[in-house]
Structure 1
């Protein structure tokens, strides 16, 4: 049974246990490998099973004889470099696997091998590209696991920058996917990686362009996200799965199969419900966002790509303008052309117009966008949903650039606050509340509402002006050091008075100011005194969390004081959404939507909670009592009582029919009366 010279798996096992004893056998096999390699180089497109087995054998035991097997990695690199495209698929995969084994044993340098693998992305072999992609990502991650290898990272990033400009679109796309995956795993999350990916936004290859755009827009997985979602799509619903299981033989195997299918369906539903996560950190690492945005917009004007790709480019340009507060004045007239109710994906275009608005844009530039939206959307000839969407877009644009709104246009839009459509009415009132808070001087006297302290503290808006405060707004509500000590003394006096009153059995009158007097006294304090007190409190000590909560409550009182009820403020909305504008803010139409089956069922089940089960209660007073013949008859099979049921179905006699006809005629006659 011992065929050592030719039994490579057995020899491989013995060599790993005792390398010195089997050195001669290894050298014999290595010479055999070299002779087969010379024959293979004469015709590299052929498949050689002997060479394949020998290559894997040498790769497994090369670490036991590093000097004798020293030229082995160089042989493999030369074959893949010079004959990569011409090699047989199986042989090419074998050589790559052998190099991966050598790399895992630290017999090959990472730099040279990874550069070779990037070049092999040009091969027309999908399985090979997938294998190399997985290994490259894992190897670079392992290299940077303990500490960042700056030298290797810099060299590979420079090489991948040239690979993304490769003539082969597949190789360029795979190189970009590697960089995006490494950024997603926080391996390469530096500015150089982001700026290398940014160059792909100007690629002539559509797949590379779309992948780079989706990376900056938050879709980190690129186009793989779409393919994965298509693969994960369940073919059936829960009802159809259970129905198909009901038919046929009930076995444990079929039950396990049903359970796995239901679990996959539940997992898919949970994945669909997860909220979309936005990550704008990459946009902050761009070296020159102004130059990138101008190049992107120039490319957008000349591109012949399909409409979906244009939307991605508009989205990225608008985010760059909004986040970095750039000045690209030609962007707004370009977007203005698409602002029509019948335009495809018009809500997204309205979102992009709002994203690109900020305080440093000249108001007359954005005023044209507002008037276009008002003329095309907010008119009575359109449906209520169209008007509400347009009004929401105007509100979001004005929230970022309040000076863009003119008093005439604002007065016209506020007139819709009593519109018959609830969505239009609520959107108009939201716009009114915004300007009551931001710029009340633009409103007429009747639209300003009752004056509040917050309105009095609003500084006049000036284009390009920045308001820098040297105090915490609302800090005047806090007591100063001396006043806080005096307040503690008053509390102690009150406690002592209350203790005395309990002992004597009588009430003691203690003079204190009522709430009404306090409210009347507070507005009498001048604005200068409040500012001086806020500056003193802000600069005298470090405020605690409880004091900040007190300041927030005081600021909330300023907002609603003098009004009947306090509305939900925009500041709270921005804190919840992280300050990022989403499509739901534009499509936020106040209209009761029809329930789907799941939501309707959830409301039904919620209504049944804490309620007794509907229907008759058939519980017996004595659970051990016997049942009646009537109850027993219900549980009997039909064939047992069939003869009794058939006896009852006897034809009526002529006399019975006469009586029934007479009674029916009498009833009809009474009904006519």
Structure 2
């Protein structure tokens, strides 16, 4: 029997292997196949809607070996591009996918320019083939990412961006949706994270006639916090458990396979720990990069008023507009009456609407504009005819709005809401007290005197600001803490390097040139003053030698006095008060990180009293967390004993928990196997020991014992 191993040129995989090994020897066979491809292609153009397996195989073959004959295949990529451009919608999906894969293979071998291929793929997004669109989207993102891996190719990026922006306005909704998805994906991967990309999504995507494109663009500005949280939860679930793996390896039989598995799990744990220890990379929020936020907010609000979209899409509009107003501090006065219509307890997603109202509040909005929103919340939510949870949510929403715009609250309304601090339900009581705590820091004068709490140093320094007023500080607030060593001790620092600060007091000294020559004349002319000065010097020396704390108290008392000037000969000493000394210190010294920590500690101490051992917490963030509005304090209805009683009552008529066998009589005897499970371990130890693998010595002893026993029996 004769075996025909060489089946060239019909066997294309074999020819492909031989060409990659020795291109020069098989050049003629390749040219023969290339001519066959050209002729088959001309025939295929007459019937592009039919499948041609021969053409499919030839395209794959030539794409695999094209790098071996670059001059002969110089027209091959363009032939495939023209074929896809002219017959993209009529080709069979399998043939179209095969041609696209061949072009990607040529792109990986740098036989076709990236720009030409990407432009073609963007046009192919119009094809009614979901699998192809997903495949092309992944390739486009990966290819652009690889091109910008080492350094960003600004010229190529700019050309691709301009082409993609035109695709956003394409008449085909699927192509437009895929284009905006690609842009968002590239922004999230820090490739196209510039202001140009963000503004095109803002101006074109958010105002698109295609609902899917508009929703995707709005979601881009809202972020994907929920998806990120879910992905992090999935990562935690997939993380290997090293402790259990080590325990399994310790108990089970030692094998090489189990040892390799344990080492692999150890490497995974080390890799996961390194990943966690890395600093998280945050994308710069796209909403900050918008060039015209006022125009975008007005356009979205106009689009919202005239749209007939679903309620979820309207909520997205309200959310984006509120974020634009809050972050960029915009003026859109028509937004507040519009959102007031939705503030009702029975309204769907009402807590989110309250969140939007809080996000759209800032200090530059006049209080008269936001005050109707507060009154609507008070009349609809904070009334005793509603449930306690509804009242608590209303009070929380009022607190979040007033945290960003304190002037929106009127004195009468605040005092009415403060009366709920003694309400019978804990959720309402805690929400009202949090509102009182906020205004103790912001505007304590609006509260009733009994609600202002124990006065603190920070409240004494607080001055009510009028609308639009900016308070300019001539020094860093809290810099007085650097003047005292006592503040340094309270901050927990043991630095004793500032010995030349004269206990925190600042002294200006001016001295004449002939200071030493005129001492006798000064003594003769000013006897009385010298006596007084000598007495003061003696007292200061006694105080310094007896106790250093007394000197510190003297320095504190001198700093609190008004600025005075003493003249001793030609030496002028000017003692400054605390405010002047702090201003002088800020002008003449560069503060370190330790100094700023000391200042922060002193500012925190100003808000603390003897009754309040920790500072008030009212941090204002960019976005309002929904948990801050939905946070409800509830008292447990039952203690542990009461809950145990209910549990025991539920077990009264229930069947006995445990294994149920098929015995009709519960008092009948058990099998030997069941009895063996309940036996004492000492009685079963000899059987458990027999299961353990014996050593050679133990086998010898057992055999010897057995032989001796057999010998005695004989």
Bin for the TM-score computed over the shorter chain: 0.7 to 0.9
- Say whether the 8 Å CA contact 2:322–2:360 is kept in structure 1: yes
Alpha carbons of structure 1 residues 636 and 10: separation in structure 2 relative to 1, 3 Å: closer
Aligned to 2:32: 28
Task: Report how far residue 447 of structure 1 moved.
Answer: 2.5
1:331 pairs with one of 329, 335, 341: 335
Aligned to 1:667: none
| 3-state secondary structure, aligned to 1:320 | helix
Alpha carbons of structure 1 residues 112 and 360: separation in structure 2 relative to 1, 3 Å: same
1:549 pairs with one of 592, 597, 604: 597
Separation of aligned partners in 2, 1:535 and 1:401: 31
Higher RCO structure (Cα 8 Å, ≥6 apart): 2
Separation of aligned partners in 1, 2:188 and 2:25: 49
- Say whether the 8 Å CA contact 1:437–1:455 is kept in structure 2: yes
1:171 pairs with one of 171, 175, 181: 175
Separation of aligned partners in 1, 2:552 and 2:499: 22
Is 2:220 the counterpart of 1:215? yes
TM-score (norm 1): 0.74
Alpha carbons of structure 1 residues 125 and 2: separation in structure 2 relative to 1, 3 Å: same
| 3-state secondary structure, aligned to 2:216 | helix
Please list the CA deviations of residues 287-317 of structure 1 after superposition, one character each: whole Å capped at 9, or x if unmatched. 1111011000111111111111111110010
Query: Stretches of 4+ moved more than 4 A in 1?
Result: 276-280, 480-483, 486-490, 513-526, 592-595, 633-640
Task: Report how far residue 167 of structure 1 moved.
Answer: 1.6
Separation of aligned partners in 2, 1:580 and 1:638: 64
Aligned to 1:399: 403
Alpha carbons of structure 1 residues 639 and 185: separation in structure 2 relative to 1, 3 Å: closer
Alpha carbons of structure 1 residues 181 and 579: separation in structure 2 relative to 1, 3 Å: same
Aligned to 1:583: 626
Is 2:422 the counterpart of 1:379? no
Is 2:201 the counterpart of 1:197? yes
**Mapping 1:18-417, distance limit 5 Å:** 18-198=22-202, 199-219=204-224, 281-417=285-421
Separation of aligned partners in 1, 2:216 and 2:229: 11
2:423 pairs with one of 419, 423, 433: 419
Please list the CA deviations of residues 450-482 of structure 1 after superposition, one character each: whole Å capped at 9, or x if unmatched. 322111211321111122323221110112899
Please list the CA deviations of residues 617-668 of structure 1 after superposition, one character each: whole Å capped at 9, or x if unmatched. xxxxxxxxxxxxxxxx99955699xxxxxxxxxxxxxxxxxxxxxxxxxxxx
| 3-state secondary structure, aligned to 2:151 | coil
Aligned to 2:261: none
Aligned residues: 543
Unpaired segments ≥5 residues, structure 2: 238-279, 486-495, 505-544, 564-575, 644-668, 677-714
Aligned to 2:447: 443
- Say whether the 8 Å CA contact 1:407–1:442 is kept in structure 2: yes
Alpha carbons of structure 1 residues 465 and 451: separation in structure 2 relative to 1, 3 Å: same
Is 2:569 the counterpart of 1:564? no
Aligned to 1:8: 12
Task: Report how far residue 322 of structure 1 moved.
Answer: 0.2
Separation of aligned partners in 2, 1:519 and 1:415: 43
| 3-state secondary structure, aligned to 1:470 | coil
Alpha carbons of structure 1 residues 391 and 151: separation in structure 2 relative to 1, 3 Å: same
Separation of aligned partners in 1, 2:385 and 2:502: 65
Aligned to 2:271: none
Aligned to 1:463: 467
Please list the CA deviations of residues 309-357 of structure 1 after superposition, one character each: whole Å capped at 9, or x if unmatched. 1111100100000000011100000110111111111110000000000
TM-score (norm 2): 0.70
Alpha carbons of structure 1 residues 332 and 86: separation in structure 2 relative to 1, 3 Å: same
Separation of aligned partners in 2, 1:469 and 1:292: 35
Separation of aligned partners in 1, 2:307 and 2:201: 20
Aligned to 1:668: none
Separation of aligned partners in 2, 1:523 and 1:31: 101
User: Greater Rg, structure 1 or structure 2?
Assistant: 2
Task: Report how far residue 569 of structure 1 moved.
Answer: 2.2
Task: Report how far residue 511 of structure 1 moved.
Answer: 5.8
Separation of aligned partners in 1, 2:226 and 2:626: 21
